[in-house]
Structure 1
């Protein structure tokens, strides 16, 4: 069995490891798991527009995957957590943006995906969090 390797995303991930004692990613062999990534910048500021926050969360997932030696093309599972302003927001606007980002970053690949509306996330201004699992080298089509 491979030994786990833990990773901190440069910038915000290093700050979170120091302040909160958790890593952004773990790799065991070819499997990479990342903690939920929000749409923050390196100073943990969030964009005002929901679409910008979702796109930034996807960017942060990519940065974190890269830190552990993976890419969006290796992703096999996605869990996304959303704080909706209304029931329709998760069902329509958020889903549309998420799907656009999936297509942009993974092409025709379609990992499993669970999308959940939740009451709260880890930061007061946070409206989206994305957690993924990747298998390096074997998941690409």
Structure 2
């Protein structure tokens, strides 16, 4: 078995490693797992608009995957966590943007996806968190 190799995304990942003692991704052989990625910037700011936050979370997953030698096209499983909004619950707004991002970033690949509604995430302004598993080289 390959030794695990851990990755801290430059910027926010370095901060989280120092403050919270965790990495953003681990690679063992050709398998990459990410920790949950939110829609924050490197200074831990969140966009006002839900759509922008979801797109930024996808960008953060992409940055983190790239560090470990993977991309969205290698993703086989997605877990997403959503704080329902008063006007949408976890309905149209969340799902529309998630599916648009899946199609844009993964092309024809349709991974397995588990979507969970939660009351809170790791930061007070967070409304979405995305965690993925990728198999590098398995572009199915």
What's the TM-score bracket when you normalise by the shorter of the two chains? over 0.9
Residue 50 (str. 1) matches residue 37 (str. 2): no
Distance (whole Å) between structure 1 residues aligned to residue 68 and residue 15 of structure 2: 17
TM value normalised by structure 1: 0.97
Q: Deviations over 1:89-139 (max 9, x none)?
A: 31211001000000000011100000111011000000000000000012x
Q: Deviations over 1:10-62 (max 9, x none)?
A: 11001110111000000000000000000000000000000000000000000
SS of corresponding position for 2:6? strand
Runs of at least 5 residues in structure 2 that lack an aligned partner in the other structure: none
Alignment-derived partner of residue 39 in structure 1: 39
Count residues with an aligned counterpart: 140
1:1-141 equivalences in 2 (<5 Å): 1-86=1-86, 88-138=88-138, 140-141=139-140
Deviation of residue 87 (structure 1)? 7.9
Deviation of residue 86 (structure 1)? 3.7
Distance (whole Å) between structure 2 residues aligned to residue 71 and residue 101 of structure 1: 13
TM value normalised by structure 2: 0.97
SS of corresponding position for 1:46? coil
Structure 1 segments of 4+ aligned residues over 6 angstroms from their partners? none
